[in-house]
Amino acid sequence: MRWTSWIAAVLLAAGMTASAQAPPAPPAPQPRFVVVLDAAHGGDDYGGRLASGQPEKAYTLTMSVRLRSQLGVRGVQVITTREQDTGIDLNHRAEIANHANAQACISLHASESGSGVHLFVSSLYPMQPSRFAPWKTAQAAWVTRSLALAGVLNSALLHAGVTVTLSRSSLPGVDSMACPAVAVEMAPDRDASLKTTADLDNAGYQSRVAGALAAALLEWQTEAHAQ
């Protein structure tokens, strides 16, 4: 009886020791977070002509590279619709965002009119998600989330001292995206009297806007992981 009791005690102690030394369970993986950057225009589509003389297509690509770099050093996975001066039709841009299952798509534009940054969200009426969404109105199921994303972008830009205007508009290309999507149009920085304080080609201004957008997308990532 004593021998049996001693064996049981040894086995119990060994079990307790093994349990105590067992490696901790690995942390649950974070949900995948992907941002798509869409540099508008390209190829034969020059976009608008900016005061510096460069076409809008070149400017949007420059801003895409700046923003991609700022997000990349922060560990955010970024997919771009174009990396060079190539023409990409609107349907293909939407296909890239949808195939990536993006959590955010930023469509980059530039204009000499207005001041600061203009944020555009699709004017489609919000609809419940459906299994087979019509291509041209796929964004309808995401409009509410797109408005929320625009709100986060707005706050970050204002914090960086950038003037912001928010609008709803028909957005070909964006309207076919099945993800939160906002068109970001950058204009020169102007004061209250509309005097230009920073042109579009001002490197510091570009960096300030890109930094604010990157900060907003990091906040958006945190919110996405919390849901």
Nearest to 133 by CA among 176, 100, 97: 176
pLDDT of 120: 98
| The residue to which tokens 């841009």 are assigned | 93
pLDDT of residue 11 exceeding 80:
no
Task: Domain count for the chain, please give it.
Answer: 1
Confidence of residue 184 (pLDDT cuts 50, 70, 90): very high
Q: Is residue 135 part of a domain?
A: yes
Residue type (1 letter), 85: D
Query: What token pair was written down for 130?
Result: 């459906």
pLDDT of residue 223: 81
Please give the average per-residue pLDDT across 187-198, as a whole number: 93
Query: What pLDDT is attached to residue 210?
Result: 97
How much of the chain, in percent, has pLDDT values that exceed 70?
Answer: 83
Mean pLDDT of the chain: 88
Q: Mean per-residue pLDDT for 23-48?
A: 81
User: Binning pLDDT at 50, 70 and 90, where does residue 225 land?
Assistant: low
Is residue 80 assigned to a domain?
yes
Could you tell me whether strands 189-190 and 196-198 are parallel, antiparallel, or unpaired per DSSP bridges? Answer: antiparallel
Q: Is 2 inside a domain boundary?
A: no
Residue 12: inside a domain, yes or no? no
In a domain, 24, yes or no: no
Per the structure, the complete domain to which residue 53 belongs is given by 31-226
Is there a domain that residue 1 lies in? no
Residue 18 lies in a domain: no
| Segment 79-98, tens digit of pLDDT | 999 999 999 999 999 999 99
| Residue 21 pLDDT > 80 | no
Tell me whether residue 198 is in a domain. yes
Q: How far apart are CA 97 and CA 78, in angstroms?
A: 11
Q: How far apart are CA 131 and CA 109, in angstroms?
A: 31
Query: 35: domain CATH number?
Result: 3.40.630.40
Q: What is the pLDDT of residues 194-215, one digit of tens each?
A: 899 999 999 999 999 999 999 9
Question: Contacts for 147-151 with beta carbons within 8 Å, 24 or more apart?
Answer: 147/121, 148/180, 149/104, 149/180, 149/181, 149/182, 149/220, 150/119, 150/121, 150/182
Core vs surface per residue 7-36: b (16+ CB within 10 A) or e: eeeeeeeeeeeeeeeeeeeeeeeeeebbbb
55 has pLDDT over 50: yes
Of 191, 204, 215, 175, the closest CA to residue 76 belongs to 215
| pLDDT reading at 26 higher than 80 | no
